Amino acid sequence: MVYISGINPDDTVKVTSNLKARSEKFFPYKKGQLAIVGVSCTAEPGEYRYDILISREGKILREVENTIIIKEKNFKKDYITVSKEVQEKKSQENLNSDTENIAKAKANPIPQPLYEGVFIAPVDAEINTEFGAMRYVNGVRSSVHSGLDFKAKKGTPVMASNNGKVVLAMELNASGNTVILDHGLNIYTSYCHLDTISVEVGDMVQKGDIVGNVGSTGYSTGPHLHWTFSIGRQSTNPIPFMEGFAIPDF
């Protein structure tokens, strides 16, 4: 998290960094501005520059130079076999379409936290693929797993992991029937491969409300829930938010 005290909500904050795939948006918080920053699990370990320039009405107020250290993490490997028909759901054309729909859904994040307390698991089921697992499809390295896969039966009710607003509820090519919740401060959770969707865009949901049922739609080899936790467009590990992550009282 980056918190800048003593500045106004309309002051401009510009970040320059050689850390790629970050996703920061600053929101008014307490007596300053706050951003929660997502870091890709594919980032190489090491030191990265993270400089902040603050200006007001075209005049520079403050320049701060920072260093962020990315520590090494070993992720598991995951092997799956898919048919040609399923593989085609991740064609570049389909992925571009999905990306456009998701970008629209996340274009205007709610500037205050809607979530309260810890995030809960959306289903009471075993996790069979962890976040960050290196995925091999038909023997070829394909991607890094962007969330948690829960091994649950088709039709199992899927719960909202925290309070939020529904910003997407539709069928996508890769993730099938998908629901995305905006929890405020650029934090989102996504519920993918659903059999049915129980909410509509604009609905306000509370932690534990049902948003759909487990299915196997889209790029999927069997019934399960793929659940992602993201800061903006950057998928991050949800475990800290399930274990009590909270914004400090600056």
Would you state the pLDDT for residue 250? 66
Alpha-carbon distance of 119 to 137, in angstroms, equals 30
Output phi, psi for 56, to 5 deg.
Answer: -135, 120
Average pLDDT value for residue range 192-220: 97
Residues 6+ apart with CB under 8 A from 108: none
Confidence class of residue 19 from pLDDT cuts 50, 70 and 90?
A: confident
pTM of the model: 0.89
Alpha-carbon distance of 197 to 192, in angstroms, equals 10
Give the dihedral of Cα atoms 121, 125, 126, 132; nearest 10 deg: -40
For the segment 24-42, what is each residue's pLDDT rounded down to a tens digit? Answer: 899 998 889 999 988 888 8
Q: Which residues pair with 5 in a beta bridge?
A: 32
